[in-house]
Amino acid sequence: MLALIIVSSIAQAATITGTVYDLEFSKVEEILITVNSVPEQKYLSNDGSYKFELPPGKYTITAKQEDLLAEENIEVVSEGNYVIDLFLFPSFEDENQLLNDEEGVPDLEEKSFSWIWIILIFVIIGIALFYFLRKKPKHEEKPIKEDLENLIELLKKHNGRMTQKEIRKELFLSEAKISLMVTELESLNKVKRIKKGRTNVIILV
């Protein structure tokens, strides 16, 4: 996904901040975040948050933890402060290498080994998604998060009805985070999402 940052024509350094989340929308601890600037910048985060100073240009911000990977492509045009959150998903790099590696292992044995890994990965992904989508919130023990409250307040200001594109323009967040926020509010029966053309309309319940 490409996050396009466009402000004034003054080409100066921009401050990029954000947080790395897992599939359960929780902050990821002890993770290394890098950006392919020259020289390359690295940030070892204890709580999932990070910060980079970048001059104008195109970059890829990467966060990796074991077999989970998050990448975000950005374009910095000029100065400003911007929030780019990252979301970890399973990486298939190692499995692709196993499928392409034909040295030292008989063809039949290699295919069997690769299929076992592929099936195992899909089972893990299925379990994680099932747990994330089916998890019932405990309202007494876990109040609505501040960023979700902000989205609810924004919808109230717009008569309880906005498109996801309008929400992104107001909150300056990535498309992935807006989608996860809406999904979490749907699970709390706070909003409902209606498909309209190429976008979604979010309505307060």
Q: Which residue has the tokens 């405990």?
A: 138
Average pLDDT, the chain: 81
> Per residue in 152-187, pLDDT tens?
998 899 898 998 888 888 888 888 888 899 899 998
Predicted confidence (pLDDT) at residue 50 exceeds the cutoff of 50 = yes
Q: Are 62 and 35 in contact (CB under 8 A)?
A: yes
Q: What is this structure's pTM?
A: 0.41
> Per residue in 103-156, pLDDT tens?
544 555 556 667 888 888 989 998 888 878 776 554 444 567 888 898 899 889
Find the helix or strand (DSSP H, E) in which 118 lies. helix 107-134
Q: Is 66 left (phi over 0), alpha (psi -120 to 50) or beta?
A: left
Going from the N-terminus, what domains does the chain have, and what CATH number goes with each?
Answer: 2-90 (2.60.40.10), 146-204 (1.10.10.10)
Angstrom distance (rounded) from CA 34 to CA 167: 28
Q: Which residue has the tokens 């921009």?
A: 14
